Amino acid sequence: MGTWAKAVLITVLTVRVSALTEDCPEKGLHLLQSKGRFILAKDDTIDGENGGDLTSDTETRTGETRKPELMKGVSYGPSMSTSPSEAHHQDYFCDAAEPIWGGRGDLEIIASLGANVVRLYGNDPTLEHQKFLDHAQSLNLEVIPGMGDRAFQQCKGIGNFSCFQGAKEAYLQNLQKGFLVGKAYHPSIKYFIVVNEPELKLPSLGEPKKFAKAIVSAIDGVLDAEEELGVEGPKPNLTVTFSFAFCNQCDNFRDRPGLGQLWTLKDALLNPEKYGVEPKRNLTAFFETRFTFSFNSGNPSDEIQSLFLDHYEVAFPSTPIFVAEYHNPGNPHLKKDLKQILRVARHSSLLLGISFFEFQNRYDQAGHLIWGMFDPQGHDEHDSARSQVVKFKETSELHVPCLSPVFDHDTTIIEELTKAYKGPGVNMSKLCLPDPDKVLVSKHGFLQMVGLKNVTAMQIFIKRVVTKLGGFVPYVVPAEIAEMFMNPFARYRDLEAMLVSHPEWARWDVFASCMVDVEATNSTVAGKLAYICGLGYVDCSKVPESCEDLWDTASWVFGTHFREVVYSQDFTPKPLQHCYLDGAAQFVRSSIWKKMPVKKDCIVPLGWTDPNKVHISQHGFHLVWSNRDPVAMKVFITRALEHTGGKLETNVPESFVTETLALEGSFKMLQDTLAAHPPWGSWETAACVPDREAKARDVGAAIGLVCSKGIFDCGQIPAECKGSVWDQAAYVFGSYYRNLKVRSSTSPLYDCAFDGRAVFAGPHLYKQFNYTPACIVSVPDH
């Protein structure tokens, strides 16, 4: 640490040391831990800076400025859901949740990772919490509980962000139901989080005055609750956990993530009246003696240092801080990153440490499947005797899921965290392995299977992916296919790409449809419905009247959307990408949806490739070609002819259709034939113009793309063509194509396609489009 920082630190230490001397258990643990760290450091050569680690420890121990033990936490919110669903219960550290944190061994697992702190989320103050705190203490774990959001409900609404009362009432109950032992705090309580990410909900980042008022008044309520019960002895610091967002409306640090919020809160604690708060307790004294900052972040360690900590240490030189959620998911060097952030903390005078985010994946919260070190997994029916049962007041009896470790390439997150935290390691015999029949059919499930290294399991999983894609596997997935996807560099994308090309070992169904997933929650479905309608591929005012029920509407909208997306884009359908919608939709084969209790006329099957809609491209050709339908191929050839500026004079000869459909048939061959102007067509002077079938929005985007290519200067668009996107596109596409043709040899099927938004049309065609004639830029074809 810099000398200036040390100097400042010593002046505040008179306050801190007195608090620490009362804290005997922590001291013993500290020595023991640093000894353990030393021994481990010797054989762990990867962590090159362990020597530095030791000296900084001795330094702090001999000087008066002993830094508290490094915080190595785990963020713990063990929801019971094993598939996407809404949560029924939020407080997992109440006595009733003992089968989870105790019976399943969660706290023991956390301790064996080498962690010393458990960070919790909002609690229900009407429930008892002492058992959890006792159990944590027996394992040398400290606990950071947090206030539940319910305490803020009233002040957020009619209460004008005055949160004193709600916070005080909730905290009084907390103190009486476990936080206090007699008149003193339970020794395992390390900090209390008065509110998590307040700036995102009270009411928003845009209103710093309001969230500051809410937080400060809530802190005042917590302090007043302590006072009212006459709490004795050392008290834990309070903290407020902010997000790592930029606060553009804050008075300071608008261009630094997290810091604007921190600055605002400090200002409000020191000058509460400025924010409309008349505190009952002395908040200045509180800030100087009992407040610790904290924040959540998904950034890697070097960014935390450079974007945040370097500036924090200057701006808040005497207030410690910790990362209450730390995890940079998808980081290829997770272990290194974890070690690095701990090293940063060790060398910082203010950063106390981190809490790893998070113990397990959360199926009750969309988007929370990339953070956890465990996946909760349901038990088999016949195996349920093995699992424990838990009962909350608002739920029926629930089986406690087992924990399956999440793989990270060829290791697991728990192994990486154990190495960083230097714990003895988790006893694997208590865990279960990811089950190929139960993991989510998603990238996450796929990576779990890769990590498992079990061919049979991968075969079972791929079979489920095929089903999701609207096919089915009559026998088994060939082992060599499964093996191909077992290497650590295999990608889910590649599996999907292989499957949509319809391999022979599976059967496929053109009446498969994108429809609602009946297991999704109604709120997810309703949310996605609004989102899809907003995208504009499907006209949601045209939902058939008979599909009025939420699920039927969703099936019609999702099905129509998917079909339109398939035609608007020049690649193979990707049901897992465009028909998943966070679990609201699924791609279902016809033999299954025909048996489902849904209205059949609200189902929109993908159907055979429509030759009137596919792009005139290599890919579009292949789709029509694989249907082996001469009528469809004739339509495609006719459209291709029109896209080269030609006009059909007679019928496309049957012999040519047959030739195109033959094994050697190709798009290149079709293109060459058309370029030679066969006698069944005629060619006139044509122009590259936007295709009337395209969406105005896509055409607009194509204009931008063309203008950026430097072939044609878009500053030259005549005023009369600026009135509509269509006229503008006609002028831009036409001029671009003409300029290109002057420079090099071109083919309209490639150079006037713009992803299906343009057509090189003869007059008979472009006249039907009704563009302003002056905006059409013709090119003689020869």
Residue ranges in contact with ligand NAG by CB under 6 A: 12, 16, 68, 160, 213, 237, 276, 282, 284-285, 288-292, 319-320, 427, 429-430, 436, 454, 456-457, 460, 522, 549-551
Burial string for 305-318 (b: 16+ CB within 10 Å, else e) reads: bebbbeebbeebbb
CB of 338 to ligand NAG, least distance (A): 21
CB of 712 to ligand NAG, least distance (A): 52
CB of 516 to ligand NAG, least distance (A): 9
- Catalogue the long-range contacts made by 552-556 (C-beta closer than 8 Å, 24 or more residues apart): 552/598, 552/599, 552/602, 553/529, 553/602, 554/515, 554/516, 554/525, 554/528, 554/529, 554/584, 554/585, 555/513, 555/515, 555/516, 555/598, 555/599, 555/602, 555/603, 555/604, 556/602, 556/603, 556/604
Q: Which residues contact 129 (CB under 8 A, 6 or more apart)?
A: 93, 94, 95, 123, 145, 174, 177, 178, 179
Closest to ligand NAG by CB, 88 vs 290, is 290
Closest to ligand NAG by CB, 289 vs 590, is 289
CB of 492 to ligand NAG, least distance (A): 19
Distance CA 302, CA 299 (A): 8
Amino acid at site 154: Q
Closest to ligand NAG by CB, 158 vs 719, is 158
Burial string for 493-532 (b: 16+ CB within 10 Å, else e) reads: eebbeebbeeeeebebbebbbbbbbeebbeebbebbbeeb
* Category of 549 on φ-ψ map: left (φ > 0), alpha (ψ -120 to 50) or beta: beta
By CB atoms closer than 10 A (0-12, 13-18, 19+), residue 568 is middle
DSSP 651: P
Structure tokens at 698: 């896509």
CB of 555 to ligand NAG, least distance (A): 11
By CB atoms closer than 10 A (0-12, 13-18, 19+), residue 484 is middle
Residue among 541, 577, 581, 576 at smallest CA distance from 558: 581
Closest to ligand NAG by CB, 201 vs 290, is 290
CB of 578 to ligand NAG, least distance (A): 23
Q: How far is CA 104 from CA 74, 448, 781, in A?
A: 16, 22, 75
CB of 524 to ligand NAG, least distance (A): 11
CB of 522 to ligand NAG, least distance (A): 4
Q: According to DSSP H, which parts of 2-145 are helical?
A: 3-21, 24-43, 50-62, 98, 106-112, 130-138
CB of 340 to ligand NAG, least distance (A): 22
Closest to ligand NAG by CB, 96 vs 515, is 515
CB of 26 to ligand NAG, least distance (A): 9
Closest to ligand NAG by CB, 203 vs 276, is 276
CB of 459 to ligand NAG, least distance (A): 8
Q: How far is CA 393 from CA 98, 124, 185, 376, in A?
A: 14, 11, 27, 22
Nearest residue by C-beta to ligand NAG? 276
